[in-house]
Amino acid sequence: MTAMRSVLLTVLVGLCAAIAPAAAVAEPLPPYDGLMTFPDIQGPEGPEVFSWAVKLGEGEELRAIDETQAGVFWEEGTQAMTIDAVKAHDAIGSTVPTTLSVTQPNAITLTVHHRGAPFDYPVAAGAGWEGGIQSVEIEGPPDEFQLAHPPTPGILEPPPAPTCVVPDLTGRTLRASRRTLHSAHCSLGLVRGKRSRRVRVAMQYRLAGRVLPVWTAVGVKAVAPDQYSRGS
């Protein structure tokens, strides 16, 4: 009888050890704070999927807009915040496609599609510069041939790549702030405080005038119009 109890106890201990990993609680997702960054992907075997938890207020819902955007919406359907998929590039500036999806009621997932394509690793967050690394030739003083054959006028240098120059959003409504940010190649990030159509931006979490990567998210604090007029 004692031997049978010992065998049963051994079997139970083995079963508990086998199911313990399956019952372990998954680690919580990192919070989305207006930035969407990921560690550099070092090779084709590196991860493709990265997720964040979005803090939602009462009456708010997280929805997918398209394959590169998600948004936080109020119950009446008004959009409170836009979340854009961060861009990615490889070591020579080639753009690596990214998509954004809503995978849980309060979770967004970024997929960096680096597998199955001849990218040069590492793959990092940020917009690429198509065409890769360019060589630069440093010229000396012009010689007689160059003086006799000046360059043809009208050939322009390519325009510089766009950047996010953070505008001043203080006092603007959320709708006006979103339009202003889009014109500056930025995006609206996390909105803290009051949320309605008439709220005003009392504070922004990135200084106006800063030059940042294109489509960088700018978080703001919003207050009711009467609070803003009092300087709150």
- pLDDT at site 65: 93
Distances, alpha carbon 183 to alpha carbons 180, 207, 212, 214, 224, in Å: 5, 17, 14, 11, 25
Residue 32 has pLDDT above 60, yes or no: yes
What's the CA gap between 150 and 142, in Å, rounded?
10
Strands (E), the chain: 49-53, 60-66, 69-74, 79-84, 88-89, 95-96, 98-104, 107-112, 124-125, 164-165, 187-193, 200-204, 211-212, 217-223
Residue 157 has pLDDT above 70, yes or no: no
Residue 231 has pLDDT above 60, yes or no: no
DSSP H or E stretch at residue 11: helix 2-23
Instruction: Give the residue range(s) of CATH 3.30.10.20 domains in the chain.
Output: 162-232
Q: In the CATH scheme, what is the code of domain 162-232?
A: 3.30.10.20
Task: Give residue 2's pLDDT band: very low, low, confident or very high (50, 70, 90).
Answer: low
Per-residue 3-state assignment (H helix, E strand, C coil) for 141-181: CCCHHHHHCCCCCCCCCCCCCCCEECCCCCCCEHHHHHHHH
- pLDDT at site 22: 47
Average pLDDT taken over every residue of the chain: 82
Task: Give residue 204's pLDDT band: very low, low, confident or very high (50, 70, 90).
Answer: very high
**Tens of pLDDT, residues 102-132:** 999 999 999 999 998 889 899 999 887 754 4
What's the CA gap between 88 and 127, in Å, rounded?
6
> What values do phi and psi take at 7, rounded to 5?
-65, -45
